[in-house]
Every structure is written in C-alpha cells, then in structure tokens.
Amino acid sequence: MGSAPPKCWHKRMWTRRRADAGSGAGRPEGKPPSPCRRSRAAAFGFVVVMTGCATYHPLPLARHTRLVSSLSDLDTRVPAVTRNDPPQSINVSRPLGIAQVGLLAILNDPDLRSEWGDMGVAQAALLQASLLPNPSVALGSAALLGGPGSTPSYAASLSQDIASLVTYRARVRAAREHVAEVNSTLLWQEWQVAQKARLLALEIYYGDRSLSLAKRELRLASSEVQLAQAATAAGNLALPAVAPLLAAKASAEQTLVTMNVAQIKRWQSLDALLGLEPNVRFAIAEPNLPPLPSPLDLLISRLPQQRPDLVALQLGYSSAEANVRAAILGQFPAFVLGGTWGTDTTDVRSAGPLVTFDLPIFNRNQGKISETKATRRVLHEQYLARLDNAVGSARGIVAQEHMLSAYLPQARQAAEAADNLAGTARHAYAQGNLDERSLSDYENTALQRALEVTDLKRSIGEARIALSLELGLGLPITRIVPPNRTSLE
C-alpha cells in the first residue's frame, strides 16, 4: 500500500531529537510548536499507521516447465482424511492400480494447481466482507484575511457509516457460503480429474491387450500371404487367390496402426494429467473393479449430500439467498452518524452531532434486489437440472452395465469355443488333414472373439467407473491438499 520513508530520514530525525534533549534546548513555555515540527510529527504518525499495511512482493512467472520425466519425481504423498488416519504414500515402483493413478492425477495435475487460486479469491472476498467500514475524519482550516475576527477558524468531524452495518451479517454469510461453494467445486474438479485418469488407465491396460491380439492377427495374415505367394511362384495357386489375402493383411495393418495411434493419444493424455513428459510410460496393474453398488435407489436418494457438485450448487444457492437478504436490507438509506467540532474567527467554539442520510426517492436498491433475485432463480433451476441429470445418468449407466455384463458370459463361451476349434485345426493341420487357409480362418475367428471379450471388459469397467462418479462413491470425500500447496500467496 505504501513504503516507509528512507532510513536516512529516520536517522536525521532521531539524531536531532537526541541533540535537543542532551543540550537542554527547548521551545519557550507557551510557544506553539513550529510548522516544521508539526509536519515532522504528522509524518511520523503517518509512518506508524502505514507500517500495518500490505507491501508489494513480485511473483515472477516461471521460465521452465514443471513436467517431470519419472514417476518418482511426482508428489506421491496422500494426506490423511482425518486426524486419526496416518498419511500414505503411493508406491510407484510397482504396477499402479487405476485407483492409484487417479490419486496421482489429483496430486499432480497442472490444471488443478491453478484452480487453488479460486479458493484464495473466495477467502479474500470473505475477509473483505468481514471488515467494518472505516470511520471518516474531516479536518478544515481557514486563515483570517480580514474583518472583525481575531483568529483563524478550525473545523473537525468524525463520522461512521451506519447503513453498511445493517447488511453486515447477510454479506458475511453470503461470503462464507461462497467459500464453502468453491471448496465443494474444487472437490468435484478433483473427482473429475481422478475419473478421467482412471478411465485412461483402464483403456490403456485393455488397449495393450487388444494390441497384442491385433499383432497376432497381422502375423497370421502375413504368414498366409507368404505361403500363398510361394504357392503362386511354384505354380500351385492361381494369382487371383492371393488378392483377398493381401486385402486382409492390409486391413490388419491399418487396424494395428489405428490402435497404436489411439494408444499413444491415451498415454499422452494420461501423462498430461500426471504432470509427466509425453513420452513417459509405466506399468498398469490389471483392473480389479468392485461390483455394482446397491441398493441403487438409496444411493440415488443420497446424491444431494454425496456429490460435491450438487453440494456446491446448494451452497451457491444459500449464498444467493443471503445476497437477496443483503439487497433487501440495502433499501435502508445511506446513513452516516458522527460529531463535529469547530471554532470560528472570533474564537467561538462549538460542537454537536452530525447526521447525513439519503432520501430514498429515486434509488431504493431496486436494481440490486432484482439482480440478486434473478441470480437466485438461475441457481435454483441449475440445481434441479443437475440433479435430474445425475439421477438419469446413474440409472442409464446401470442399465448399460447390466446389458454388457449379461452378454459377457456368452462372449466368453464363444471365445473359448473358437479357441478350442483353432486348437483342433492346428492339430489337424499338423497331421496334414487341413490346409493353411482354413487354419488361418479358425485362428482369426479365435482372435476376433478374444478381442470382443477384451472390448466388453473395457466397456464394463468404464461403466462402473462412470457410475462411481455419478453416485459420488470411491473417491476422497475431502479435498486432497498436498503439503507443498497448503498456502497461497
């Protein structure tokens, strides 16, 4: 807000005072202090007041990236949710489960780091709302230039705004509700980041399985083409018979390229969430997802208290309610109460109360009242829409999961049957009872069935992760604040 006078100024002032005291010098009795001494005293008082003000400190921008090249460089400490729970650390030397990947994303996501400023802004707004208005002081002086007077005139007044005290409690309540709203919103953002990371980890795990099967399919197609080309060169196979095999190989190659590109994009997205360089890879453990939670109706009924985004909307609505109350109380006209003291040029002294207020003729705070009521209505409708969407999404995901889970046993049976047939075909081929093309068809069918099972498992896992977010389950119920981010500047 301001800077203190230079140190040399303090030194000269205090040296002069010590010299005056040591020499016994002083002004004659009854003589008013000189203007220089009065100005110095006023300046000293100003410095004392200003020492309690905030000072400026620069916060330079970073010149280097914060991305790291190893999991060991990430923040792996998970703070305790309650005081009785010990803090935990994620072991990154082992394959990570999808739940651990979600926690690492919360702890290290670069975008979440920037969101902490919202809490600082909300807390600053609460501090501002909690502060009482400063009293006002007015000082005046008029020099005597002529006339019957004998002295200059002086005037002083001290006043306090009373109207702001009327809305004080409503304003503070609105600011407190807003802080709680921001806190819940940040928790919901953490949950969304965790869900995205968990889904990416799940897709990467099953994507690797699908890639392995696609590579096997390409090897089989390549083997068929080589055998067919050899047979064609020996004159045992007509050239048109090679064309379908070449088309099948090209399709397998294209499928493998597409799957590789998709897998690279998943890894890059996950690395970005974790604050890693885009070329970092690590082992992901086989997903072990719990069954669907039940009873579903009870969990859905708890959504308004369980999901952070719904809690945030409720708190935002409470803040809007308090703002409406403050706006209605703001109809109280501006009212300033204080006192005055003064002397005129004939040295007549007077003092008395000072009252200043507005006449509420044109402005009765109608605009602010209408604005706060409209904001409250918007939040009211947003909450209902979000609640309806949450309930509908949860029930829809459950229906999808039930359908996928019902089809999974059939897909497994078909894959097992296709694999058994491929084994029988290989045995027949070894005995010379089956040709190469028929063997490849059996093996390709077994691979396609295995891919179908893998895709179903991935879809079921995605549905269960999405349902856990919709129901507000399986994630920390409080915000995770790493030790190195407990304070904001």
SS3 assignment for 423-477: HHHHHHHHCCCCCHHHHHHHHHHHHHHHHHHHHHHHHHHHHHHHHHHHHCCCCCC
Percent of the chain with pLDDT over 90: 41
pLDDT tens, residue by residue, 98-109: 999 999 999 999
Q: How far is CA 41 from CA 18, 44, 50, 61, 349, in A?
A: 15, 5, 14, 42, 25
Question: What distance in Å separates the CA atoms of residue 283 and residue 96, rounded to the nearest whole number?
Answer: 6
Residue 138 has pLDDT above 50, yes or no: yes
Residue position matching structure tokens 């010299």: 19
Q: Which of 176-190, 229-243, 408-422 has the lowest mean pLDDT?
A: 229-243
Rounded average pLDDT over 186-209: 93
Question: What's the pLDDT score for residue 2?
Answer: 42
Are 117 and 144 found together in one domain?
A: no
Residues of the chain by 3-state class (helix, strand, coil), percent to 5: 65, 10, 30
Q: What is the pLDDT of residue 83?
A: 72
The more confidently predicted of residues 91 and 23 is 91
More confident residue, 161 or 8: 161
Task: Decide if 183 contacts 249 (C-beta within 8 A).
Answer: no
Let me know if residue 28 belongs to a domain.
no
Domain that holds residue 268: 65-131+167-330+365-483
For residues 4-18, give the mean pLDDT. Answer: 39
User: Which of 223-232, 233-242, 307-316, 331-340 has the weakest average pLDDT?
Assistant: 233-242
> Do 467 and 435 share a structural domain?
yes
Q: Which of 426, 431, 453 is nearest to 441 (CA)?
A: 426
Q: pLDDT value at position 291?
A: 80
Instruction: Dump pLDDT digits (tens) for 289-316.
Output: 878 887 888 999 889 988 999 999 999 9
Whole-prediction pTM: 0.78
Q: Is residue 456 part of a domain?
A: yes
> Confidence band (pLDDT; 50, 70, 90) for 7?
very low
Question: Is the distance from CB of 480 to CB of 79 less than 8 angstroms?
Answer: yes
Highest mean pLDDT among 147-151, 262-266, 445-449: 262-266
Asked if residue 377 belongs to a domain, the reply is yes
Domain assignment present for residue 57? The answer is no
Rounded Cα distance between 239 and 473, Å, is 61
Beta bridge partners of 353: 339
Query: 189 is written with which tokens?
Result: 């953002």
Same domain? For 277 and 217 the reply is yes
155 plus 175 within the same structural domain: no
Give residue 484's pLDDT band: very low, low, confident or very high (50, 70, 90): very low
- Quote the distance between the C-alpha of residue 105 and its chain's center: 12
Mean pLDDT for 254-279 is 94
286 and 172 in a single domain? The answer is yes
Spatial separation of the C-alpha atoms in residues 53 and 47, rounded to whole Å: 10
Please tell me the predicted confidence (pLDDT) of residue 41: 52
Residue 58 lies in a domain: no
Higher confidence at residue 481 or residue 141? 141
Rounded CA Rg of the chain: 38
What distance in Å separates the CA atoms of residue 14 and residue 5, rounded to the nearest whole number?
Answer: 13
Co-location of 5 and 83 in the same domain: no
Q: Say if residue 486's pLDDT is above 50.
A: no
Q: Is 426 within the bounds of a domain?
A: yes
Domain boundary among 312, 339, 364: 364
Same-domain pairing of 180 and 308: yes
For the chain, the average pLDDT equals 83
Q: Where are the alpha helices (DSSP H) in 154-307?
A: 163-166, 168-233, 242-274, 296-301, 303-306
CA dist., res. 428 & res. 25, Å (int): 124
Residue 268 shares a structural domain with residue 322: yes
Is residue 395 situated within a structural domain? Answer: yes
Same domain, 149 and 297: no
pLDDT at residue 354 tops 90 = no
Residue 303 placed within a domain = yes
The rounded distance, in Å, linking the Cα atoms of 179 and 187 is: 12
Query: In sequence order, which residues have a C-beta less than 8 Å from that of residue 275 and are 6 or more positions away?
Result: 66, 67, 68, 74, 108, 109, 110
Last residue of a domain, one of 342, 364, 386: 364
Residue 334: what pLDDT?
80
Phi, psi of 272 (to 5 degrees): -65, -40
Higher pLDDT among residues 60 and 84, named by residue: 60
Instruction: For residues 465 and 201, give the distance between their C-alpha atoms in angstroms, rounded to a whole number.
Output: 11
C-alpha distances in Å from residue 317, one per residue of 189, 373, 381, 388: 19, 11, 10, 17
pLDDT of the residue at 26: 42
Query: Does residue 44 carry a pLDDT above 80?
Result: no
Q: Is the per-residue pLDDT at 84 higher than 70?
A: yes
From the number of C-beta atoms within 10 Å of its C-beta (0-12, 13-18, 19+), residue 275 rates as buried
- Please determine, for residue 11, whether its predicted confidence score (pLDDT) is greater than 70: no
The mean-pLDDT minimum among 90-99, 192-201, 444-453, 472-481 falls in 472-481
- Decide: 336 and 357 in contact? Cβ < 8 Å: yes
| Range among 309-313, 438-442, 471-475, 478-482 rated most confident | 309-313
**Residue 46 pLDDT greater than 60, yes or no:** no
Residues 352-358 have a mean pLDDT of 85
pLDDT at 13: 36
Is the domain of 262 the same as that of 119? yes
Q: What is the CATH number of the domain that holds 247?
A: 1.20.1600.10
Strands 88-89 and 349-357: unpaired
| Domain limit, last residue, from 364, 388, 414 | 364
Contact 270, 102 (CB under 8 A): no
What pLDDT score was predicted for residue 98?
Answer: 93
Q: Is 338 helix (H, G, I), strand (E, B) or coil?
A: strand
| Tally of structural domains, the chain | 3
Is the pLDDT at 96 greater than 80, yes or no?
yes
Cα separation, 46 vs 2, whole angstroms: 11
Question: For residue 446, what are its two tokens?
Answer: 């077994």
Query: 44-58, 96-110, 331-345, 407-421: which has the minimum mean pLDDT?
Result: 44-58
pLDDT band at 34 (very low <50, low <70, confident <90, very high): low
The average pLDDT across 459-479 equals: 86
Query: Residue 19, exposed/middle/buried by CB under 10 A (0-12, 13-18, 19+)?
Result: exposed
Span 337-351, mean pLDDT?
Answer: 87
Consecutive H or E run containing 390: helix 366-430
What's 345's domain CATH number? Answer: 2.20.200
- Judge if 144 and 125 occupy the same domain: no
CA–CA dist 382, 385 (Å, integer): 5
Please provide residue 115's backbone torsions phi and psi, each rounded to the nearest 5 degrees.
-75, -15
Say if residue 248 is in the same domain as residue 355: no
In this predicted structure, the answer to whether residue 118 has a pLDDT above a threshold of 90 is no
